[in-house]
A and B are shown apart, each in its own frame.
Chain A
Amino acid sequence: MMASQVEKKPNVYLEDLSEGLWKRTPPLFTALGMCPSLAVTTAAVYGMAMGLSTTVVLVGSTVLISLFRRAIPRQTRIPIYTVAVATLVTITELVLKGFFPEIHQVLGLFIPLIVVNCIILGRIESFAAQHTPARALADSLGYGLGFTWALTLIGAIREILGAGTLFGLRVMPAAFVPWAIMRTPAGAFWTMGILVGVITLWRQRGAARRVTIPGVGLQRMREAAEGGETA
Chain B
Amino acid sequence: MAKTTAQIVETDPGASLLVSPGPHIHAPISTQSAMLTVIASLLPAAGVAVYLFGWPALGVMVASIAGAMITEALCLWARKRPILLWDGSAALTGLLLAFTLPPQLPLWMAFLGGVVGIGIGKHAFGGLGSNPFNPALVGRAFLTVSFAAPMSTWPRPFDGVTGATPLVEIAATGTYSDLWSLVTGATGGSLGETSAVALVVGGIALILKGIVDWRIPVGIIGTTAIFALLAGVDPIAHVLSGGLLLGAFFMATDWVTSPITRKGKWIFAVGIGVLTMVIRLWAAAPEGVSFAILLMNGATPLINMMTRPKGSGKGVNGK
Excluding A178-B146, A180-B148, 17 further A-B contacts by CB distance (< 8 Å) are A177-B109, A177-B147, A179-B146, A179-B147, A180-B145, A180-B146, A180-B147, A181-B142, A181-B145, A181-B146, A182-B146, A184-B145, A186-B145, A190-B120, A193-B124, A194-B124, A197-B124
Residues of B within 8 A of A177 (CB): 109, 147
CB distance from B80 to the nearest CB of A (A): 11
- Bound-state CA distance A184–B146 (Å) is 10
Binding site for A on B (CB under 8 A): 109, 120, 124, 142, 145-148
Those of A162-192 within 8 Å (CB) of chain B: 177-182, 184, 186, 190
Residues of A within 8 A of B109 (CB): 177
Q: On chain A, which size bracket covers the interface?
A: 10 to 19
CB distance from A7 to the nearest CB of B (A): 44
Chain B residue at smallest Cβ distance from A162: B146
Binding site for B on A (CB under 8 A): 177-182, 184, 186, 190, 193-194, 197
CB distance from A173 to the nearest CB of B (A): 12
Residues of B within 8 A of A184 (CB): 145
| CB<8 Å pairs between A and B, sample of 13 | A177-B109, A179-B146, A179-B147, A180-B145, A180-B146, A180-B148, A181-B142, A181-B145, A182-B146, A184-B145, A190-B120, A193-B124, A197-B124
> Chain B binding site: helix, strand, loop or mixed by DSSP?
helix
Chain B residue at smallest Cβ distance from A186: B145
Chain B residue at smallest Cβ distance from A161: B146
- Bound-state CA distance A186–B138 (Å) is 12
Residues of A within 8 A of B147 (CB): 177, 179-180
CB distance from A161 to the nearest CB of B (A): 9
Chain B residue at smallest Cβ distance from A193: B124
CB distance from A42 to the nearest CB of B (A): 14
Residues of A within 8 A of B146 (CB): 178-182
Residues of A within 8 A of B124 (CB): 193-194, 197
Chain B residue at smallest Cβ distance from A190: B120
CB distance from A60 to the nearest CB of B (A): 39
CB distance from B46 to the nearest CB of A (A): 27
- Bound-state CA distance A186–B142 (Å) is 10
Chain B residue at smallest Cβ distance from A177: B147
Chain A residue at smallest Cβ distance from B120: A190
Max count, chain A CB within 10 A of own CB: residue among B124, B146, B148: B146
Residues of B within 8 A of A180 (CB): 145-148
Residues of B within 8 A of A181 (CB): 142, 145-146
CB distance from A187 to the nearest CB of B (A): 9
- Bound-state CA distance A7–B2 (Å) is 69
- Bound-state CA distance A182–B116 (Å) is 13
Chain A residue at smallest Cβ distance from B148: A180
